[in-house]
């Protein structure tokens, strides 16, 4: 009778997922970016390989970007050098992460609190102000845009400034180039979703951002005078002097100069004023006191 040989059982444990609490602790320690270059798009790396330690201890994990992670894996960068940067993260030296570039696209679909913004750039050039407010300084009155579409040679990119409740910038996008505050409680850009938290269960920013789409479900656009906009699940709320107004829901702002603007009479007394911000789909008028 033929005797079947017994195959050796694998001694390698099935690799478990890194617990979210551990991942968050690593993000916080590494200041939300690759420890080598500061890029806010990162991967989790075991300093001592998982195959040797068989665990996800926080002190054995670091953050590396898609360029520096393979450099370590393929021995183009020594383990000792990675450990040095793990102890001296790039973003610890700055208030903001290094930039990450989202490439321009032919069109960008903008949805803020359920309100959609659409702009067709006939000649493939120009700007469209999705959310704006008026302001003034020593040089005079001007328009301050929190979210702007830019078109150049038929390619469209997005600029945005998102803040906390005190008007401090937590995320900035300049023609698609993203930087995030390294001083927030938690920042995570996974897939196309960006999440910034000010504490456990307390979300400051919840958005999807890719080359052709920006959807903000929760976020703040406030200047130093606490004028601007609040976005949440109910809709979009204009804010003046830290006081929110009626909710704007399910609107469709297409073409023209821009979508929504908060216009202060103190800055532009009448439509005959030079550079009066006309051409917006919605204007929230603030009378002069």
d(CA 119, CA 255) in angstroms, rounded, equals 5
Considering the domain architecture, whether residues 108 and 83 belong to the same structural domain is answered as: no
Cα dihedral 199, 28, 53, 70 in deg (nearest 10): 130
End of a domain among 75, 93, 111? 93
Considering the domain architecture, whether residues 114 and 132 belong to the same structural domain is answered as: yes
According to the model, what pLDDT value does residue 11 have?
Answer: 44
| Residue carrying structure tokens 């997005």 | 158
Does residue 9 lie within any of the structural domains? no
Does residue 6 lie within any of the structural domains? no
Considering the domain architecture, whether residues 83 and 165 belong to the same structural domain is answered as: no
Considering the domain architecture, whether residues 66 and 202 belong to the same structural domain is answered as: no
Condensed to tens digits (0 to 9), the pLDDT of residues 139-154 reads 999 999 999 999 999 9
Domain total in the chain: 2
**Around Cβ 121, how many Cβ atoms within 10 Å?**
19
Following DSSP, what letter does each residue of 42-110 receive, concatenated?
A: -EEEESS-HHHH-S--GGGEEEE-TTHHHHHHTTSS-HHHHHHHHHS-GGGGSSBPPPEEPPPBS--EE
d(CA 244, CA 255) in angstroms, rounded, equals 26
Rounded to the nearest integer, the mean pLDDT of the chain is 93
Please tell me the least confidently modeled range out of 31-35, 64-68, 128-132, 241-245.
241-245
Considering the domain architecture, whether residues 71 and 146 belong to the same structural domain is answered as: no
Condensed to tens digits (0 to 9), the pLDDT of residues 50-89 reads 888 878 999 999 999 999 999 999 999 999 999 999 999 9
Please tell me the least confidently modeled range out of 5-14, 91-100, 145-154, 199-208.
5-14
Residue 16, CA distances (Å) to 10, 56, 141 in order: 16, 9, 57
pTM: 0.90
User: What token pair was written down for 213?
Assistant: 């789409």
pLDDT at 133 over 60: yes
Instruction: Please say whether the dihedral angle defined by the alpha carbons of residues 42, 48, 54 and 58, taken in this order, is positive or negative.
Output: negative
Q: How far apart are the first and last CA of the chain?
A: 102
> What is the band of 8 on the pLDDT scale with cuts at 50, 70, 90?
very low
According to the model, what pLDDT value does residue 268 have?
Answer: 95
Does residue 257 lie within any of the structural domains? yes
Considering the domain architecture, whether residues 72 and 133 belong to the same structural domain is answered as: no
Does residue 1 lie within any of the structural domains? no
pLDDT at 12 over 60: no
Q: What percent of the chain has pLDDT over 90?
A: 86
Range of the domain at 228: 100-286
Considering the domain architecture, whether residues 219 and 168 belong to the same structural domain is answered as: yes
Considering the domain architecture, whether residues 155 and 269 belong to the same structural domain is answered as: yes
End of a domain among 93, 128, 152? 93
Does residue 13 lie within any of the structural domains? no
Considering the domain architecture, whether residues 112 and 255 belong to the same structural domain is answered as: yes
Does residue 207 lie within any of the structural domains? yes
d(CA 119, CA 128) in angstroms, rounded, equals 7
Strands 213-222, 109-112: pairing kind: parallel
Does residue 72 lie within any of the structural domains? yes
End of a domain among 58, 93, 128? 93
Residue 257 contacts residue 128 (beta carbons within 8 Å): yes
Considering the domain architecture, whether residues 194 and 270 belong to the same structural domain is answered as: yes
According to the model, what pLDDT value does residue 4 have?
Answer: 45
pLDDT at 6 over 60: no
Does residue 106 lie within any of the structural domains? yes
Please tell me the least confidently modeled range out of 101-105, 106-110, 119-123, 210-214.
119-123
Q: What percent of the chain has pLDDT over 70?
A: 96
The distance from CA 17 to its chain's CA centroid, rounded to whole angstroms, is 25
Angle, alpha carbons 269-272-276 (nearest 5°) = 70
d(CA 94, CA 38) in angstroms, rounded, equals 10
Considering the domain architecture, whether residues 160 and 257 belong to the same structural domain is answered as: yes
According to the model, what pLDDT value does residue 50 have?
Answer: 84
Considering the domain architecture, whether residues 85 and 114 belong to the same structural domain is answered as: no
């Amino acid at each position: 009778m033929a005797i079947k040989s017994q195959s050796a059982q694998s001694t390698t444990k099935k690799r478990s997922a890194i617990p979210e609490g551990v991942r968050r602790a690593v993000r916080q320690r590494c200041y939300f970016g690759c420890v080598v270059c500061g890029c806010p798009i990162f991967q989790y790396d075991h300093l001592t390989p998982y195959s040797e330690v068989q665990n996800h201890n926080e002190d054995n994990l670091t953050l590396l970007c898609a360029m520096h992670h393979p450099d370590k894996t393929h021995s183009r960068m020594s383990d000792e050098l990675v450990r040095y940067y793990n102890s001296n993260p790039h973003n610890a030296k700055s208030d903001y992460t290094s930039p990450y570039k989202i490439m321009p696209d032919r069109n960008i679909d903008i949805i803020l609190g359920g309100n959609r913004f659409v702009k067709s750039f006939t000649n493939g050039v120009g700007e469209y102000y999705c959310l704006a407010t008026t302001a003034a300084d020593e040089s005079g009155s001007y328009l301050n845009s929190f979210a702007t579409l830019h078109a150049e040679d038929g390619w469209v990119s997005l600029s945005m400034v998102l803040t906390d409740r005190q008007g401090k910038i937590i995320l900035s996008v300049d023609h698609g180039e993203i930087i995030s505050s390294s001083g927030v409680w938690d920042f995570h850009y996974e897939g196309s979703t960006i999440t910034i938290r000010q504490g456990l269960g307390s979300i400051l920013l919840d958005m999807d951002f890719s080359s052709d789409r920006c959807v903000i479900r929760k976020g703040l656009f406030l200047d130093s005078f606490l004028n601007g906009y609040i976005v949440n699940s109910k809709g979009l709320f204009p804010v003046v002097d830290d006081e929110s107004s009626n909710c704007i829901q399910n609107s469709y702002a297409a073409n023209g100069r821009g979508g929504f603007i908060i216009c202060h009479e103190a800055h532009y007394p009448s439509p005959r004023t030079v550079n009066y911000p006309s051409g917006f789909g919605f204007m929230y008028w603030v009378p002069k006191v």
